[in-house]
């Protein structure tokens, strides 16, 4: 198996067990096969991936595109966003911001295109297809309910309807009406 699939399976391993099982089932891998592919990655995720951008560059190759990060915090001024395509999530970008000193920050999923549905029906939202930023654009209101590092729970309001979303690395893993 390719090293980039091993990396993608490292990302998948951070997610909810139900979502992991669904993805592995879709691609026809057992957990044993996934563990073998992950073991081919010598770097530890997220520790090694949060200290040296070269880990991403060596593993994933050249970025699909690179652009300036306009809204970077002052400590990361001059950073660039590196967009990668991944096999398990071909409809999304894996984006890693890189500071001028080579420190990666704010790695996670983003939709490849911006869109605004009108009207928007939150009952049709599907896990694994939406990112946090895309749902925030659709919502009338949103608030962080809980969050730590790569995991967050956000409450969304769409008119009088309220939903709770669980994200790992900005990818929607769980969606339920409140």
The reply to whether 105 and 60 lie within a common domain is yes
pLDDT tens digit sequence for 118-173: 888 999 999 999 999 999 999 999 999 998 778 999 999 999 999 999 999 999 99
Whether residues 101 and 128 fall in one domain: no
pLDDT confidence of residue 119: 84
Mean pLDDT to the nearest integer, 106-116: 88
User: What's the rounded mean pLDDT across residues 76-102?
Assistant: 95
Asked which of 70, 87, 109 is the last residue of a domain, the reply is 109
- 98, pLDDT greater than 80: yes
Q: What is the mean pLDDT of the chain?
A: 91
Q: What is the pLDDT of residue 74?
A: 93
Same domain, 61 and 126: no
Does residue 96 share a domain with residue 36? yes
Query: In which domain, by residue range, is 12 found?
Result: 3-109
Q: Of 86, 109, 132, which residue constitutes the final position of a domain?
A: 109
Tell me the per-residue pLDDT of 139-154, one tens digit each, with 9 for 90 and over: 999 999 998 778 999 9
117 in a structural domain: no
pLDDT band at 114 (very low <50, low <70, confident <90, very high): confident
Residue 40 pLDDT > 70: yes
Looking at residue 147, what is its pLDDT? 82
| pLDDT tier, 1 (very low <50, low <70, confident <90, very high otherwise) | low
Average pLDDT over residues 24-49: 88
In the sheet that holds 161-168, the strands lie side by side as 141-148, 151-158, 161-168, 171-177
pLDDT per residue as tens digits for the range 24-36: 999 999 999 999 9
Q: How many domains does the chain have?
A: 2
Closest to 40 (Cα-Cα) out of 1, 85, 87 = 1
Q: What is the CATH number of the domain that holds 48?
A: 3.30.1450
């Amino acid at each position: 198996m390719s090293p980039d699939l091993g990396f993608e399976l490292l990302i998948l391993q951070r997610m909810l067990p139900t979502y992991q099982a669904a993805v592995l089932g879709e691609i026809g891998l057992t957990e044993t096969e996934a563990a073998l592919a992950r073991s081919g990655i010598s770097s530890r995720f997220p520790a090694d991936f949060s200290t040296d951008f070269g880990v991403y560059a060596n593993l994933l190759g050249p970025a699909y595109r690179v652009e300036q990060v306009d809204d970077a915090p002052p400590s990361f001024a001059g950073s660039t966003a590196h967009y990668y395509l991944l096999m398990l999530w071909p409809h999304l970008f894996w984006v890693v911001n890189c500071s001028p000193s080579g420190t990666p920050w704010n790695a996670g999923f983003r939709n490849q295109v911006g869109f605004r549905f009108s009207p928007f029906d939150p009952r049709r939202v599907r896990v694994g297809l939406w990112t946090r930023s895309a749902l925030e654009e659709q919502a009338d209101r949103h608030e962080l309910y809980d969050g730590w590092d790569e995991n967050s729970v956000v409450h969304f309001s769409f008119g009088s309807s309220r939903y709770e979303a669980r994200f790992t690395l900005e990818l929607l893993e769980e969606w339920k009406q409140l």
